[in-house]
Amino acid sequence: MAIEKRVLVPDIGDFEGVEVIEILVTPGDRIEVESSLVTLESDKASMEIPSPVAGEVQSVSVKVGDRVSEGSLLLTVSVDDGAQAEDPQAVSAVAGAEPVPTADDSPPDNTEIPQGGALVAKEVMVPDIGDFEGVEVIEILVAAGDRVDVDTSLVTLESDKASMEIPSPYAGEVKSLAVKIGDRVSEGNLLLTLEVQELASPAKSGGPPEVSAEEAESVQAPAPSPIEAPHSSSAGRHAGDKESRRPPVLTRPSDAPGRKPHASPAVRRFARELGVPLEQVTGSGPKQRITKDDIHGFVKQALREGGSAVAAGPLQLPAVPVVDYARFGEVEERPLSRIKKLSGAHLTACWLNVPHVTQFEEADITSLEAFRKAQQPAAAKQDIRLTFMPFLMKACVGALRGFPDFNSSLSADQGHLILKKYFHIGVAVDTPNGLVVPVIRDVDKKGIFDLAGELMQVSEKARGGKLLPGDMQGGCFSISSLGGIGGTAFTPIVNAPEVAILGVSKSVLKPVWDGTQFQPRLMLPLSLSYDHRVIDGAQAARFTSALAGILADIRRLLL
């Protein structure tokens, strides 16, 4: 027979009105003992509340944003008759039986114990920090003689992947430190010794306490371990997780040289949610500790400055100064279009993260241009405007086949090159609202007239603002043509995660020496920008030479 039990907030220390930031179960879920139920967050720590019983969740009494304290009702669970909670005291509360004696209950009945306690030395070890071994101590946050509370950060450790603060499991006075900056430690190594006042248990009465019917139906979840609670991460947790030990929350190490941000796990998580780089925030707390108010202040400043307070990438670029242009004369303020805002952020990221180099070349397109003009009447009969772009796209596919590194992308860890076996070409289109790059797919499988017709369609959609996100995704290589406007050369920005982009300027009739005399030839300026992490200068020169050769004689594509 199933019995309905109420799960209450356990003893969470001196915290009152702690916010519920995540609910990890829903009605109908099957949970086990120690399954995480909800995540609470105070101004100092975040903690997951584990289940004291196994069963099926009947109802959840809290929602995200609620504030709870010890004894508040979290949820109700339908427990099979005879199911046991992991905590002995929780078992007796559920069953209504006598409490199971524990180490603290060892004195015989009616034995009075004084309320005072002796000072004892407690050794603080490195807790479970996952699979890390030999982690470097980069900061010691306390000194001998300091008074610390439970969850006070003691030291900061940093591996090659992350940094973490180790909290104190006890309140007391630091007697001695066993590590120094630069030492490498692993789980179980001694960090320091604390002098802790060990309080005695209160006097025991003769018989077991009476349990009311209402109390018998209420189950208080076991309190999280002091060393686990403030650093338990809710990311990636599932309702059936039975792990009882959780390592501290890991955060990315600071990119700023010589400065390590000092903040609690809750503040670090808050900063991650807002996208705030902690290494750029000045802490107002003790020892320059960063608080939530500091994060709020940083965000407000960034909003006032239009986002310039947040440096992009690891370069930590200085913010552009704010200027009152009206002091110098009449001004007009006009908002940027949505396209320019989105493309601006993407182009900035590409420019800052990709090491750009541009290779310049000229292609003789005299014969190709004559062929294009000869085919225009046939295209017009099909209501197709035959521009130079379809020929250029086919020529680019021919060059990409010969140089597959240009038709690739770097893997996320930048340790592998992903070579693409398809040929989707992005073509930059100028619209009244800004530049967009729709992608023409499978260029290698389409004819010149097919490509010309498709270019007309996507250009019309782009100028009408009707392109869908999918129309601008999946490109392998991009082309940006300014030939219809003018210019002799330019340096296009690589459209990451692609590794190269071709810029095309206005073709010009030039005298070219053929070995015996000068001949008038129509020359097309090419500007190839590429990611120098993937492509070197020699490869780029060979690619542009091969492309110029194909454009000079398009029949080479048949070879």
* pLDDT value at 234 more than 60: no
Q: Choose the weakest-confidence range: 2-11, 44-53, 119-128, 296-305.
A: 296-305
* pLDDT value at 13 more than 50: yes
- Residue 384: which pLDDT band, with cuts at 50, 70 and 90? very high
Q: Are 163 and 260 in contact (CB under 8 A)?
A: yes
Q: Are 503 and 492 in contact (CB under 8 A)?
A: yes
Domain assignment of residue 264, yes or no: no
Between 202 and 161, the more confident residue is 161
List the domain range (segments joined by +) for residue 367: 340-558
Percent of the chain surpassing pLDDT 70: 76
Domain assignment of residue 319, yes or no: no
User: Can you give the pLDDT at residue 373?
Assistant: 95
Between 314 and 425, the more confident residue is 425
Q: Are residues 169 and 220 in the same domain?
A: no
* pLDDT value at 153 more than 60: yes
- Residue 18: which pLDDT band, with cuts at 50, 70 and 90? confident
Q: Are residues 128 and 227 in the same domain?
A: no
Q: Are residues 419 and 508 in the same domain?
A: yes
Cα-based angle 108, 111, 113 (whole degrees, multiple of 5)? 120
User: Can you give the pLDDT at residue 265?
Assistant: 66
Between 241 and 441, the more confident residue is 441
Domain assignment of residue 39, yes or no: yes
Q: Are 44 and 247 in contact (CB under 8 A)?
A: no
Per-residue model confidence as pLDDT tens digits over 78-96: 987 654 444 443 333 333 3
What is d(CA 333, CA 258) in angstroms, rounded to the nearest whole number? 41
Beta strands in 106-203 (DSSP E): 117-125, 135-140, 147-148, 153-158, 163-167, 172-177, 184-185, 190-199
Between 409 and 219, the more confident residue is 409
User: Can you give the pLDDT at residue 375?
Assistant: 95
Between 265 and 505, the more confident residue is 505
Distances (CA, A) of 525 to 78, 403, 486, 489, 502: 75, 20, 11, 6, 10
Q: Are 144 and 154 in contact (CB under 8 A)?
A: no
Q: Are residues 538 and 447 in the same domain?
A: yes
Percent of the chain surpassing pLDDT 90: 37
Average pLDDT in the 66-75 region? 89
- Residue 311: which pLDDT band, with cuts at 50, 70 and 90? very low
Please report, for the domain that includes residue 469, its CATH number. 3.30.559.10
Q: Are residues 66 and 144 in the same domain?
A: no
Per-residue model confidence as pLDDT tens digits over 322-380: 888 999 999 999 888 878 887 888 898 899 899 999 999 999 999 999 999 999 999 99
- Number of domains into which the chain is organized: 3
Between 46 and 232, the more confident residue is 46
* pLDDT value at 38 more than 90: no
- Residue 158: which pLDDT band, with cuts at 50, 70 and 90? confident
Token reading at 421: 């076996």
User: Can you give the pLDDT at residue 320?
Assistant: 75
Between 201 and 337, the more confident residue is 337
Between 17 and 490, the more confident residue is 490
Average pLDDT in the 410-419 region? 91
* pLDDT value at 268 more than 80: no
Per-residue model confidence as pLDDT tens digits over 205-230: 444 444 444 444 455 555 554 433 33
Q: Are 58 and 76 in contact (CB under 8 A)?
A: yes
* pLDDT value at 235 more than 80: no
Q: Are residues 477 and 401 in the same domain?
A: yes
Q: Are residues 348 and 481 in the same domain?
A: yes
Helices (H), 176-252: 213-216
- Residue 303: which pLDDT band, with cuts at 50, 70 and 90? low
Q: Are residues 347 and 449 in the same domain?
A: yes
Count CA within 13 A, CB hemisphere, residue 344.
9
User: Can you give the pLDDT at residue 407?
Assistant: 97
Domain assignment of residue 311, yes or no: no
Q: Are residues 352 and 443 in the same domain?
A: yes
User: Can you give the pLDDT at residue 442?
Assistant: 96
* pLDDT value at 56 more than 60: yes
User: Can you give the pLDDT at residue 369?
Assistant: 96
Domain assignment of residue 298, yes or no: no
User: Can you give the pLDDT at residue 222?
Assistant: 56
List the catalytic residues.
Answer: 532
Between 466 and 548, the more confident residue is 548
Helices (H), 124-239: 213-216
- Residue 512: which pLDDT band, with cuts at 50, 70 and 90? very high
Enumerate the β-bridge partners of residue 46. 41, 231
Cα-based angle 368, 371, 374 (whole degrees, multiple of 5)? 155
* pLDDT value at 245 more than 70: no
Q: Which residues of 255-294 are buried (b: 16+ CB within 10 A; e: fewer)?
A: eeeeeebbbbbbbbbbbeeeebbbbbbebeeeeebbbeeb
Last residue of a domain, one of 146, 161, 192: 192
Average pLDDT in the 473-495 region? 94
Peptide bond into 226 cis (omega under 30): no
What is d(CA 70, CA 39) in angstroms, rounded to the nearest whole number? 14
* pLDDT value at 277 more than 70: yes
Q: Are residues 430 and 526 in the same domain?
A: yes
Q: Are residues 481 and 378 in the same domain?
A: yes
Residue 557 DSSP one-character state: G
Q: Are residues 130 and 223 in the same domain?
A: no
User: Can you give the pLDDT at residue 230?
Assistant: 37
Residue-averaged pLDDT of the chain = 79
* pLDDT value at 304 more than 80: no
Nearest to 90 by CA among 242, 225, 224, 219: 219
Average pLDDT in the 298-310 region? 62
Domain assignment of residue 474, yes or no: yes
* pLDDT value at 107 more than 50: no
Please report, for the domain that includes residue 179, its CATH number. 2.40.50.100
Domain assignment of residue 265, yes or no: no
Domain assignment of residue 410, yes or no: yes
* pLDDT value at 257 more than 50: no
